[in-house]
Chains A and B, each alone.
Chain A
Amino acid sequence: MAEVRVEGLTKTYGTARALDAVTLAFPDGGFFGLLGPSGSGKTTLLRAIAGFVEPEAGRVLIGDAPVENVPVEAREIGMVFQSYALFPNMTVAQNVAFGLEVRKVPAAERARRVAEVLELVRLGPYGARKPHELSGGQRQRVAMARAIVTRPRVLLLDEPLSALDKALRVEMQIELKRIQREVGITTIFVTHDQEEALTLSDRIGILRDGRLVREGPPRAVYDDPRDAFTARFLGEANLFSGVLEPGGLRLGDGVLVAGARTATVAVRPENLRISLTEPPAPIRLRARLRQRIFAGAMGTCVLDWQGETLKAVGRDRDFADLPAEGEVWLSWDAADTIPLEG
């Protein structure tokens, strides 16, 4: 177990900056989610920590020791690949035992530890199977078992759940979190799925064009995204821009967002209220309801306001009185106004 740090990490491919002076600390024993759109450099960052990518500048420290001269095979890392990368010519038990064999762990102890870790990932009876005989979720757990059985200092997960269907993904998120908590290993996890990042991580880092734009606990980042990119990437956000006045933000249609102190603000879809009659709330505006989308327990309303598309999310029954389309009132509480820089 160890803290991992990267300092000023830079990597370019041709003219593209995959990583641009990224400095970040991954706390010991924590579950850190690296989040960003494709091409944001999150996988490059993970691979630089593993040692598969050699940075042009900056360094990686595992447990306070710089590792630039330590090759991948000596870094004591555990890695789970997007494709799981299970060895197809070996059984589940042989796959898991591989890292122990390489470390010359005696056969008896090897067998004990393999059995132990297969039990941990709830695959006890599957040791003799070949990878192609397993389901996607089971393969994912074998990859996990193989990565942690050597007791690495850090566990690196590269989009480990992206190959699974939605129901299984949610189940595996819970599994992954449980296993990580039981083992207590420093885990760094790459995903483009914001919900996954929010569910799993104690801390998240958001990357964009090779730069770290935001880092912190998921709730703090969600509640205070600070810029429009983060607000939109982590969860959904309705953006409002206007002119700053002493009392607040004056929007294009003359509505004053009282208390706002930045020229652009965001409001989360779940904090927007829709009503047919004028609401008593101080921040309210007229918008046109364009579409109501039913999605089981939750519903989404798509609205037009001043040529912009807004979204409101709520329990579907809260939207039951609304017409299919037409003029409505939108309102929100001043406390739900999120100030954005730039």
Chain B
Amino acid sequence: MGGSLARKDRTRAALLLAPAYLWLTLAVFLPLSAMAFFSLLSDVPFGDREWHVTLDNYRAFLETGTYAALLWKSVKLGVTVTALSVLAGFPCALVLAKVIRGRAREAMFLLVILPFWSNSLVRIFSWAIVLRGNGVLSAAIDAVLPWDVRVNLMFSPTAIVIGLVHSYLPYVILTSYLALQAIDDSLIEAARALGAPRRTILMRIILPLAAPGIVAGAVLIFVPVVGSFMEPRLLGGRLGTYYGTVIEDQFVAVFNWPLGAALSFILLAVVLAILAAASPALRRALR
């Protein structure tokens, strides 16, 4: 196709691309450049503070094991949340795409998208009400079970995972749904006519063909969860120190922007490295 666009077409294409790319330049490239610059400074260049260019902020990550340990903790959190979201989201998308039709599907979709519409802080605090000791969850379980039960999930890794899965589940449902929707029903009928039981159809036809959607959803979840700070802080309490919360501290509490910026770039590099390392496997899944 491309390559041989006529001059007029090229002008038109440039005009159509311009708004998005100008915006991306302003909204992503400029702040990112500024951050890259900050990450190389010894102190914030505001007022009459002294500053010079240095690699100390990056060196800090390598010298103190704490940051690396926290990053590892955050990556594990990302893997857990992504895995749980895919496990819960894919079956849901499968039913929405292939079983439910008409009005019922619209209603079910609304329920899936609902978390997007509520403020994330409200969402997290409502989980706090549910999960804390003597909270909604505890009272509900106590009411059902005959013996005395106390459940306090608040300020635990479990609470963080619950909150994050709730926030990011819609992504994997939506991307999987789109991929499943694109699978022609006659493929499934053809497999049935050939004698394939449901399990075989799922493993050999549906999963391979829906893989691009599942992978897209997983990446959409994994990347922000590794850097998340709000859910860990509000639902994790004392245990909620993660890589993301440390970065946030540098900007909000400690006022050490250069270190925060350097840690952010290391996170970006690590996430890109993980995606690059996984890409041969991903590409095989997508083919």
Contact = CB atoms under 8 A, between A and B. Distances in A.
Contact of B197 (A73, A79, A89, A147): A73
Interface in A25-56: 50, 52
A67 to B, nearest CB: 13
A88 to B, nearest CB: 7
B194 A98 contact: yes
A80 B186 CA distance: 10
A176 interface: no
Contact of B205 (A71, A79, A87, A147): A87
Contact of B194 (A82, A83, A146): A146
Contact of A73 (B187, B192, B204): B192
A52 B194 contact: no
Nearest to A76: B195
A50 B193 contact: yes
A74 B193 contact: no
Contacts of A78: 193
Interface in A62-80: 71-79
Interface string A79-117: 101110111110000000011001100000000000000
Contacts of B191: 87, 98
A83 B197 CA distance: 22
Main SS class of interface, B: helix
Given A85-B184, A89-B208, A89-B209, A102 B190 contact: no
A98 B205 CA distance: 11
Nearest to A72: B192
Given A85-B184, A87-B205, A103 B189 contact: no
Contacts of A82: 186
A83 B196 contact: no
B120 interface: no
A145 B34 CA distance: 62
A102 B208 contact: no
A99 B194 contact: yes
A85 B195 contact: no
A252 B205 CA distance: 64
Contact of B195 (A50, A73, A87): A73
A103 B200 CA distance: 11
B186 A85 contact: yes
Interface residues of B, number: 18
Contacts, number: 63
Contacts of A75: 193
A50 B190 CA distance: 11
Contacts of B195: 73-74, 76, 99, 102-103, 150
A194 to B, nearest CB: 25
A147 B195 CA distance: 11
Interface string B171-206: 000000000000010110111111111001000110
A102 B200 contact: yes
B190 A150 contact: no
B189 A81 contact: yes
Contacts of B192: 52, 71-73
A301 to B, nearest CB: 43
Contacts of A89: 205, 208-209, 287
A147 B197 CA distance: 17
A88 B192 CA distance: 16
Interface of A: 50, 52, 71-79, 81-83, 85-89, 98-99, 102-103, 146-147, 150, 156
29 contacts: A50-B193, A71-B192, A72-B189, A72-B192, A72-B193, A73-B193, A73-B194, A73-B195, A73-B197, A78-B193, A79-B189, A79-B193, A81-B186, A81-B189, A83-B184, A85-B184, A85-B189, A87-B187, A87-B190, A87-B204, A98-B196, A98-B204, A99-B194, A99-B195, A102-B197, A146-B190, A147-B193, A150-B195, A156-B193
Given A79-B193, A85-B187, A89-B208, 16 more contacts: A50-B193, A75-B193, A78-B193, A79-B189, A81-B189, A83-B186, A85-B186, A85-B190, A86-B190, A87-B190, A87-B191, A87-B204, A89-B209, A89-B287, A102-B195, A146-B194
